[in-house]
């Protein structure tokens, strides 16, 4: 039997129907020599700190950095996920071959490989790699299954990304929370979220500290066309007054009049970031909302795979374009002119060198039905962009007129649409696809070089303006280009390898920052909250805040994916980075007094311990108050552990074996006396200090 594992039940159902596996079983389909099962996304995840050692269950600076000798995975705690894993585990042991039908991307590969690793798979693996879920695409994919070993580098990159996020996120979050956190607030640090937040905070501070300055511009109107003086901004009112006095009452002369015919290429096809930008600009959709809409269209077989970072199609798609266009019935008026002649094969659309795992997002040609209004909007945007890609260039006339009043030169420019070309697709539609420009603006009359006449000069008083707040659209572009403002399509394409985050994760990063109250939205503008600003202010490390440094990390992950960078070297760099960061923060002067210290100082006096000392067996659990303390193999725990009480005190903390008296003091007095002989994590450095029991019944450590 061949075992196919899809990422979702709905996809498994489609595959099973095509393969003839029609018999529904508990957790899988069977038939025609196939078992078709599924995951629910992430069935497995990296182990948490406390899974490695009891010392890491409690947050204290002395145990940082936490660096496991090897990283392990575990099942998620969801009952349904664990039940489904048991089904897959059983099928893996009994099958002859595994066909990985997971999402065809880095994250999808990671999900599937972790499940197979946990299930102890030893069977050969094939890979289904498709860009759409149409029946034709699935049949073609099964007819061209790839060797699972071809995707080991993709898995290595995904695994390295997960480990890197664990090392930095777990350690930096504990480090900054313990060092600077107040009122028990967790200061969440992440490889992508922190530089993203830093970009927003930096922009916000620039806006808030911006001091507007007045300036003046000299303009004049000749034959109903406004000209601007080429001397530019005048920062002095007196100079402006002198300038207008100089040109008043004198004739305006036409010095040069040039018209050049130009071409405007159709807009690029969509990658995930650009469709999210379009969704935000056009419909005020969040990045996450647009992603979910495109994902839904993909699962309904209407568009191709969404989590892509290319705006190109592979050359083997070219012969399939007519069939796709023929299927776009609702747009037959737009597709008819294209189907009358061969489809052009432009390098701006078809380029194998620009396509790796998947091509740009395009419609599949399947007739849409049963989609909601929001899905219809996004589907229309994707489809019109696809159709426009095969229309001819827009032909424009660019006009430049140079005039002068004696020694003062003036200039005016304008544009006229000669042949609309691809703009016909977006007629009567305000769209960033059509570049949202008013094509009739500044269409000029004809001028003759040497002509002259009266004009109407004026000085316009203006004020400098601060940069604009980020919207989700501009923030996505900033993440894509590592914080640099880039409008040029070609340059932005070249910078993608150094962007922060991946197209598939950026929406979630933005949502996480909102969820953690670091950001808030005011209309379409994104503002950092006081908490978000405070977090960035307390972080001095450029490593955590720099979009460029994080982009370099992303670049190395891409090299790993291509087999061009050593995984072990990358991991070694990660560990060194975390060690250096920990040392840097530990040696820095405190900017604030941690509130947990203030709370201890202000706490009401504790009741005096009775003269008669209790044994551990006589003490009640301090957390639930009902259970008694029981001795286990490695720790004292609560007798109510089966009912959910997770209170534990390990026998050994930070390399020091605790005495019974010390544990009694810890539980009854919430602190021990000074104990000698602790060790700082990962070092031979000895520490003296006391163990404490926090208000939420976790163990703490006070060096002293």
Which among 5, 251, 213 is positioned nearest to 115, based on CA atoms? Answer: 5
Per-residue pLDDT at 360: 96
The pLDDT > 90 percentage for the chain reads 66
Distances 389 to 244, 346, 353, 394, 433 between C-alpha atoms, Å: 48, 9, 18, 12, 11
CA atoms of 373 and 413, how far apart (whole Å): 41
Which among 207, 131, 204, 304 is positioned nearest to 519, based on CA atoms? Answer: 204
| C-alpha torsion sign, points 137, 140, 146, 150 | negative
User: Which residues pair with residue 302 across a beta bridge?
Assistant: none
CA atoms of 197 and 176, how far apart (whole Å): 16
Top-confidence residue, 254 or 687: 254
Per-residue pLDDT at 473: 95
Six-digit token string for 185: 């607030």
CA atoms of 54 and 633, how far apart (whole Å): 12
Quickly state the pLDDT bin for 696 (edges 50, 70, 90).
low
Which among 450, 429, 539 is positioned nearest to 201, based on CA atoms? Answer: 539
Convert the pLDDT of each residue in 608-663 to its tens digit: 334 445 677 677 788 776 677 888 878 888 877 766 777 888 888 888 888 888 88
Convert the pLDDT of each residue in 584-615 to its tens digit: 888 876 554 333 332 233 333 333 334 445 67
Tell me how crowded residue 535 is: count the other CB atoms within 10 A of its CB.
24
**What contacts 589, CB < 8 A, 6 or more positions away?**
none
Angle at 161 between CA 156 and CA 164, to 5 degrees: 120
Q: Do 104 and 305 meet the contact criterion of CB atoms below 8 Å apart?
A: yes
Using DSSP's 3-state secondary structure scheme, residue 380 falls into helix
Lowest pLDDT segment from 174-188, 358-372, 457-471 = 174-188
CA atoms within a 13 Å half-sphere pointing along the CA-CB vector of 41: 2
CA atoms of 199 and 203, how far apart (whole Å): 6
Convert the pLDDT of each residue in 561-584 to its tens digit: 999 999 999 999 999 989 999 998
Top-confidence residue, 252 or 504: 252
> How much is the pTM?
0.77
Using DSSP's 3-state secondary structure scheme, residue 159 falls into helix
Strand order in the sheet with 252-264: 452-453, 252-264, 394-405, 408-419, 225-229, 214-222, 456-463
Mean pLDDT of 436-441: 43
**If you compute the radius of gyration of the chain from its CA atoms, what whole number of angstroms results?**
32
Report which secondary-structure segment, H or E, holds 143.
none
| Sole residue written with tokens 């000698």 | 676
Q: Is 209 exposed, middle or buried (0-12, 13-18, 19+ CB in 10 A)?
A: exposed
31 sits in the region (left: phi over 0; alpha: psi -120 to 50; else beta) called left
CA atoms within a 13 Å half-sphere pointing along the CA-CB vector of 529: 11
**What contacts 156, CB < 8 A, 6 or more positions away?**
560, 561, 567
CA atoms of 167 and 154, how far apart (whole Å): 20
Quickly state the pLDDT bin for 197 (edges 50, 70, 90).
very high
Q: Do 331 and 388 meet the contact criterion of CB atoms below 8 Å apart?
A: no
Mean pLDDT of 91-108: 95
Lowest pLDDT segment from 33-47, 315-329, 626-640 = 626-640
User: Which residues pair with residue 100 across a beta bridge?
Assistant: 5, 127
Q: Is the pLDDT of residue 501 over 90?
A: no
Q: Do 243 and 234 meet the contact criterion of CB atoms below 8 Å apart?
A: yes
Per-residue pLDDT at 600: 33
CA atoms of 561 and 581, how far apart (whole Å): 27
Bond preceding residue 365 cis, omega within 30 of 0: no
Per-residue pLDDT at 261: 93
Report which secondary-structure segment, H or E, holds 179.
helix 152-180
Which of 34, 305, 469, 565 is an active site residue?
Answer: 305
SS3 track for 433-447: CCCCCCCCCCCCCCC
Domain annotation for the chain: domains and CATH numbers: 2-161 (3.40.50.140), 190-208+469-553 (1.10.460.10), 214-266+394-463 (2.70.20.10), 292-388 (1.10.290.10), 607-703 (no CATH)
Backbone angles phi, psi at 185, to 5 degrees: -80, 130
Per-residue pLDDT at 32: 97
**What contacts 254, CB < 8 A, 6 or more positions away?**
401, 402, 403, 447, 448, 449, 450, 451, 452
CA atoms of 144 and 320, how far apart (whole Å): 17
Long-range CB contact pairs, 471-474, < 8 A, 24+: 471/280, 471/281, 471/524, 471/525, 471/526, 472/276, 472/280, 472/286, 472/287, 472/510, 472/524, 472/526, 473/276, 473/277, 473/280, 473/281
Convert the pLDDT of each residue in 222-261 to its tens digit: 999 999 999 999 999 999 999 999 999 999 999 999 999 9
Which among 279, 339, 343 is positioned nearest to 313, based on CA atoms? Answer: 343
Mean pLDDT of 674-697: 78
CA atoms of 366 and 134, how far apart (whole Å): 8
Per-residue pLDDT at 236: 92
Q: Do 381 and 323 meet the contact criterion of CB atoms below 8 Å apart?
A: no
| Sole residue written with tokens 């108050």 | 625
First to last CA, the chain: 64
Active site residue 52: no
Q: Is the pLDDT of residue 17 over 50?
A: yes
Name the average pLDDT for the chain.
88
CA atoms of 147 and 495, how far apart (whole Å): 31
CA atoms of 570 and 557, how far apart (whole Å): 9
Quickly state the pLDDT bin for 133 (edges 50, 70, 90).
very high
Per-residue pLDDT at 592: 46
| Sole residue written with tokens 């194998």 | 352
Quickly state the pLDDT bin for 78 (edges 50, 70, 90).
confident
Q: Is 193 exposed, middle or buried (0-12, 13-18, 19+ CB in 10 A)?
A: buried
Using DSSP's 3-state secondary structure scheme, residue 97 falls into strand
**What contacts 461, CB < 8 A, 6 or more positions away?**
214, 215, 216
Backbone angles phi, psi at 308, to 5 degrees: -120, 155
Distances 208 to 195, 202, 467 between C-alpha atoms, Å: 20, 10, 10
Convert the pLDDT of each residue in 163-180 to its tens digit: 999 999 999 999 999 988
Distances 294 to 275, 391, 515 between C-alpha atoms, Å: 9, 24, 22
Q: Do 190 and 166 meet the contact criterion of CB atoms below 8 Å apart?
A: no
Which among 445, 399, 447, 388 is positioned nearest to 422, based on CA atoms? Answer: 388
Convert the pLDDT of each residue in 332-347 to its tens digit: 999 999 999 999 999 9
Instruction: For the chain, give the number of residues.
Output: 704
């Amino acid at each position: 039997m061949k075992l196919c594992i899809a990422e979702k039940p709905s996809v498994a159902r489609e595959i099973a129907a095509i393969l003839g596996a029609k018999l529904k079983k508990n957790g899988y389909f069977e038939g025609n020599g196939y078992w078709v099962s599924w995951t629910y996304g992430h069935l497995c995840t990296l182990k948490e700190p406390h899974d490695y050692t009891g010392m890491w269950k409690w947050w204290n600076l002395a145990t940082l950095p936490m660096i496991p000798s090897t990283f392990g995975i575990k099942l998620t705690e969801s009952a349904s996920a664990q039940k489904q894993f048991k089904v897959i585990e059983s099928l893996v042991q009994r099958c002859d071959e595994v066909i990985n039908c997971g999402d065809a991307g880095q994250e999808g590969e990671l999900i599937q490989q972790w499940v197979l690793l946990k299930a102890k798979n030893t069977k050969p693996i094939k890979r289904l790699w498709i860009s759409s879920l149409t029946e034709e695409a699935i049949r073609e994919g099964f007819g061209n299954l790839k060797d699972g070993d071809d995707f080991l580098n993709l898995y290595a990159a995904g695994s390295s990304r997960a480990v890197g996020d664990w090392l930095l996120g777990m350690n930096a979050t504990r480090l900054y929370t313990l060092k600077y956190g107040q009122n028990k607030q967790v200061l969440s640090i992440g490889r992508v979220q922190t530089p993203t937040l830093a970009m927003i905070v930096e922009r916000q501070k620039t806006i808030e500290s911006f001091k507007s300055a007045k300036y003046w511009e000299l303009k004049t109107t000749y034959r109903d066309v406004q000209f601007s003086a080429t001397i530019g901004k005048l920062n002095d009112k007196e100079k402006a007054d002198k300038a207008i006095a100089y040109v008043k009452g004198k004739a305006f002369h036409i010095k040069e009049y040039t018209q050049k015919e130009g071409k405007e290429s159709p807009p690029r096809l969509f990658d995930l970031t650009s469709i999210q930008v379009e969704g935000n600009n056009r419909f005020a959709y969040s990045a996450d909302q647009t992603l979910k809409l495109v994902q839904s269209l993909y699962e309904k077989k209407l568009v191709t795979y969404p989590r892509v970072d290319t705006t190109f199609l592979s050359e083997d798609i070219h012969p399939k374009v007519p069939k796709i266009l023929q299927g776009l019935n609702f747009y037959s008026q737009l597709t008819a002119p294209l189907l009358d002649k061969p489809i052009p094969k432009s390098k701006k659309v078809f380029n194998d060198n620009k396509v790796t795992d998947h091509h740009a997002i395009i419609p599949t040609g399947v007739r849409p039905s049963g989609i909601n209004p929001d899905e219809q909007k996004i589907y229309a945007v994707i489809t019109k962009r696809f159709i426009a890609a095969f229309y001819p260039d827009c032909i424009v006339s660019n006009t430049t007129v140079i005039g002068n009043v004696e020694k003062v030169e003036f200039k005016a420019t304008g544009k006229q649409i000669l042949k609309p070309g691809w703009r016909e697709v977006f007629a009567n539609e305000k769209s960033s696809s059509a570049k949202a420009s008013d094509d009739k603006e500044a269409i000029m009359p004809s001028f003759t070089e040497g002509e002259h006449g009266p004009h109407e000069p004026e000085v316009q008083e203006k004020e400098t303006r601060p940069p604009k707040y980020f919207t989700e659209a501009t923030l996505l572009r900033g993440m894509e280009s590592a914080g640099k403002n880039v409008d040029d399509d070609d340059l932005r394409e070249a910078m993608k390898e150094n962007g922060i985050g991946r197209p598939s994760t950026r929406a979630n990063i933005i949502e996480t920052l909102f969820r953690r109250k670091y950001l808030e939205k005011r209309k379409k503008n994104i503002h950092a909250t006081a908490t978000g600003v405070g977090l960035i202010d307390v972080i001095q490390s450029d490593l955590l805040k720099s979009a460029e440094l994080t982009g370099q990390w992303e670049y190395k992950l891409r090299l790993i994916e291509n087999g061009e960078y050593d995984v072990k070297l990358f991991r070694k760099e990660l560990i060194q980075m975390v060690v250096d960061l920990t040392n840097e923060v530990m040696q820095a002067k405190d900017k604030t007094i941690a509130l947990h210290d203030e709370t201890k100082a202000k706490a009401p006096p504790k009741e005096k311990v009775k003269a008669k000392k209790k044994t551990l067996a006589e003490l009640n659990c301090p957390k639930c108050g009902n259970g008694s303390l029981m001795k286990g193999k490695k720790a004292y725990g609560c007798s109510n552990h089966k009912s959910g009480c997770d209170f534990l005190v390990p026998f050994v903390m930070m390399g020091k074996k605790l005495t019974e008296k010390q544990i009694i003091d810890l539980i009854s007095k919430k602190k021990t006396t000074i104990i000698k002989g602790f060790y700082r994590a990962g070092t031979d450095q000895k520490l003296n200090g006391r163990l404490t029991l926090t208000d939420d019944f976790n163990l703490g450590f006070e060096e002293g």
